[in-house]
Amino acid sequence: MDIHLTPAEFETFLNSLYERDDRLGLRADTTHVLPSETVDAYVLSGHVEALRTEDIDGDLWDALEDLDETAADEDEAWRKIRAFYLDRGCVALHVGDDEYLLTEALARRLNLL
């Protein structure tokens, strides 16, 4: 499954989250969030299965090695990583040219599905 957000929608999405005790949650009107609990793309990256962005190094080669795969270039590496996770029920979140792969459970918990 693919979800597409504009950069502005992605920013709004990130602002709707907080991280507490290494778990992402959705803010509610009554949720008190400390500055250390705010979520940006880097914090989100720690909760996804894999990612490919210009701003954050997702270390494609280590991810590919973890899958016991090889590739000739980064595009092929990403296609193999993406196929692996999508075949296992993950969800692809697209923000412009950036892509984040999340478990379906995380996507549901964060109201992306």
Q: Phi and psi dihedrals of 52, rounded to 5?
A: -140, 105
> Which amino acid would we find at residue 101?
L
- In DSSP terms, 95 is beta-bridged to 5, 98
Lowest average pLDDT, out of 2-6, 59-63, 107-111, goes to 59-63
The confidence score (pLDDT) of residue 83 equals 97
Structure tokens at 14: 């990130």
Summarize pLDDT for 5-20 with one digit per residue, the tens: 999 999 999 999 999 9
pTM over 0.85: yes
The confidence score (pLDDT) of residue 29 equals 83
Average pLDDT, the chain: 94
DSSP assignment of 21-72: TTEEEE--TT----GGGB--HHHHHTTSSEEE-SSS---HHHHHHHTT---S
